[in-house]
Amino acid sequence: MLIHQLPYHHDSSLLFERIAHQPWAILLDSGQMLDANTGKPGSQYGRYDIMVAEPFMTLVTKGQNTEVTEITQHNQVITSAENPFELLKKTLSQLPAPQTLFPFAGGTFPFSGGALGYFSYDLGRCLEKLPSLAQDDMQLPEMMLGIYDWAIVVDHREKTSHLVSHGFCESTKANWGSLCVRFESFNQVKMHENPFLVTSSVQSNLAEPAYKRAFAKIKAYITAGDCYQVNLAQRFSAKVQGDAWAMYKQLRQTSPAPFMAYMQMPSNNGEQFQVLSNSPERFIQVSGKHVETRPIKGTRPRSGNAKQDLAYSNELLTSTKDKAENVMIVDLLRNDLSKSCEIGSVQVNKLFQLQSFANVHHLVSIVVGKLKADKTAVDVLRDSFPGGSITGAPKLRAMQIIEELEPHRRAVYCGAIGYIGFDGNMDTNIAIRTATICKNLLSFYAGGGIVADSDASKEYAETLDKASSLISIIKLFTRL
Q: Which are the catalytic amino acids?
A: 281, 297
CB atoms within 10 A of CB 272: 18
Taking the C-alpha atoms of residue 435 and residue 149, their distance in angstroms, rounded to an integer, is 27
Note the maximum CA span of the chain.
Answer: 65
- HSE-CB at 3 with a 13 A cutoff on CA atoms is 14
Cα separation, 451 vs 229, whole angstroms: 5
Q: What is the CB-side half-sphere exposure of residue 4 using CA atoms within 13 A?
A: 19
- Give the dihedral sign, CA 29/31/34/37: positive
Q: How far is it, in rounded angstroms, from Cα 427 to Cα 149?
A: 18
Give the helix ranges, DSSP H, for 193-243: 208-224
Environment class of residue 442 by beta-carbon count within 10 Å: exposed (0-12), middle (13-18) or buried (19+)?
Answer: buried
CA nearest 244: which of 279, 269, 274, 200? 274
Cis omega (within 30 of 0) for bond into 394: yes
* 408 vs 138: CA distance, rounded Å: 9
